[in-house]
Structure 1
Amino acid sequence: MKDLLRSQDLLKSDVEMLLATAAEFASEPLKASNLLANKTVAIYMSKPSTRTRLASESAVAHLGGTPIFLRGDDLQIGRGETIADTAKVISQFAEALIIRTFASVLYTDVWMSMGDPEADRIEKEKVLASYSVSDELMGLASKDAIFMHCLPAHRGQEVSASVIDGRASKIWRQAYHRRTTIQAILYHSLRGEIKGRI
């Protein structure tokens, strides 16, 4: 598989392999520290993201590569260049490209995204207040349910502080495992070991 664009494209065996390798990288971060030696990985994010950027750059570095971070205004797409042309240029300088854009996993997130008008804040808070993840809501879930959030979280809005700090919260491990997962995907993708459905 050359491109990993959606989790739906992975076979069950691919997911199992990636998770097993991510677990290995968690205990031995420098396991394949020269897989990306003398190679460059471009990293593009449509919105700023502290944790995903750090995890991606760290994963590339742990594999021995050089990460190059690109912001939206670094690209010429907004000025008329096609995505195909941009991709061809990037491919001349990088062996892999990590893109963070729309997610297909649903869990709570901030109510106000970056760029939302401040004037909408009060109305959004009123409408979304009943959707806040609270201890009461967690109590309705199965006893082994976990809480995840892409961070940063606004305690007291989309989630209570007691849920963030509670036993069901996995947000800090989630933030950490961004790196090990990205590292495992790069490791197997660049070795051509992800079979995929396409």
Structure 2
Amino acid sequence: MRHLISLTDLGTDELAGLVRRAVLLARHSDRARAGGTGPDRTLDRRRIGIYFRKSSTRTRTAFWAAATGLGADVIAYGPDDLQLSTGETLQDTARTLGRYLDALVVRTNGDVAELRQLAAAGDLSVVNALTLDEHPTQAVADLTTLAEHFGDLSGRHVLCVGEGNSSARALALAAALTPGLRLTLLCPEGYEVPADHLELLAKTGDARLVTQVTDPGRVAGPVDAVYTSRWQTMGVPKADPDWLRAFDGFRVDAGLLARVGGPDTVFLHDLPAVRGQEVTDEVLDGERSLAWRQAFHKMTAAMAVLEYCLLDDFPGTPS
């Protein structure tokens, strides 16, 4: 039994295998949408629970589509559907669900430590579909999008603009695990990826190509991809009522792309977007945008992650 609670659980080869498998599953899924045969039913007769305490459009639907597309049965739980809401302990819930399910996909208001407790108590795989401190399956989707577009990621440079939120933190860990991939985190002062998280990078992989700056003028282009996220993650209010002032100059618009990019620079966004705030319509809907393909890869990444957790012989493992 394997889990994906944090990218710190993976090695370089394991992450590369997930990305490689997701790219292949995308080809099969594209073929199915065109009327051909889809991916093999590698998870036939498996049972997967999807437990989301927070709102979700893409990730929840992506995991449902991924699981059913691979032949699994799915049950979805809302924030008040489990007896956790009435006082049952996390450990007792995990021990119970382990009698019914093979895997539980969780989006929570808590942190990675909460999911580790869940995994330790129950006889089932646990997948992190977003905690306050990390969004690992999003990073797999991000790398899959880039790998499908560029091929080899070694020598590529990604600029991640905006708040150092769970998506940015996961992307930093993923970059440290991807040989030769350079990542620059451009975050407003006071909204950076926390220092203790950056310290994890060296323990996880090679952190030498991951840097963080707070001054947009310090970014040297051309970069291969510009990435941004919603500044107000999950719509949670920030402590400072004037927080938007800190983000002046961090919106991704045509001017920023022209300054840091080149003719082949692409744009990514993990969605949902607040149009006109962190990104303009011109960029999000423009010909450089891979955001919608990136949203599709939430499903292919979910497929690869579920296979990785549940199959002894994971198809993404190098032969």
TM-score by length of 2: 0.54
Task: Give the alignment partner of residue 101 of structure 1, picking from 101, 111, 130.
Answer: 130
Q: Deviations over 1:6-32 (max 9, x none)?
A: 122222221222122112211213322
- The separation in 1 between residues aligned to 2:303 and 2:231, in whole angstroms, is 30
C-alpha displacement of 1:147: 2.5
The farther-off stretch of 151-160 and 68-77 is 68-77
Distance change (3 Å), C-alpha of 1:117 and 1:11 = closer
Q: Within 5 Å, which residues of 2 pair with 1:46-195?
A: 46-99=53-106, 100-102=129-131, 103=135, 104-106=166-168, 108-114=228-234, 116=236, 123-143=242-262, 144-193=264-313
Gaps of 5+ in 2: 30-37, 107-128, 136-165, 169-226
Comparing both structures, which one devotes a greater share of its residues to strand? 2
Q: Which structure's relative contact order is higher, taking Cα pairs within 8 Å and 6+ residues apart?
A: 1
Secondary structure of 1:68's counterpart equals strand
Distance change (3 Å), C-alpha of 1:191 and 1:114 = closer
Contact 1:46–1:101 under 8 Å retained in 2: no
- The separation in 1 between residues aligned to 2:7 and 2:78, in whole angstroms, is 24
C-alpha displacement of 1:89: 1.8
Contact 1:45–1:101 under 8 Å retained in 2: no
Please state if 1:2 is matched with 2:5: no
C-alpha displacement of 1:193: 4.4
Q: Which residue of 2 is the match for residue 31 of structure 1?
A: 39
> Equivalent pairs: percent with the same residue?
35
Distance change (3 Å), C-alpha of 1:140 and 1:79 = farther
Contact 1:129–1:158 under 8 Å retained in 2: no
Q: Deviations over 1:89-123 (max 9, x none)?
A: 221221111222222431533334555469x87x3
- The separation in 2 between residues aligned to 1:181 and 1:113, in whole angstroms, is 21
Contact 1:41–1:97 under 8 Å retained in 2: yes
Distance change (3 Å), C-alpha of 1:20 and 1:116 = closer
Contact 1:111–1:124 under 8 Å retained in 2: no
Contact 2:2–2:308 under 8 Å retained in 1: no
Distance change (3 Å), C-alpha of 1:7 and 1:79 = same
Secondary structure of 1:133's counterpart equals coil
- The separation in 1 between residues aligned to 2:311 and 2:89, in whole angstroms, is 29
Taking only aligned residues, the RMSD between alpha carbons, in angstroms, comes to: 2.7
Distance change (3 Å), C-alpha of 1:161 and 1:5 = same
Equivalenced residue count is 193
The farther-off stretch of 11-20 and 170-179 is 11-20
The AA in structure 1 aligned to 2:290 is: K
Comparing both structures, which one devotes a greater share of its residues to helix? 1
- The separation in 1 between residues aligned to 2:20 and 2:85, in whole angstroms, is 39
- The separation in 1 between residues aligned to 2:60 and 2:75, in whole angstroms, is 10
Secondary structure of 1:166's counterpart equals coil
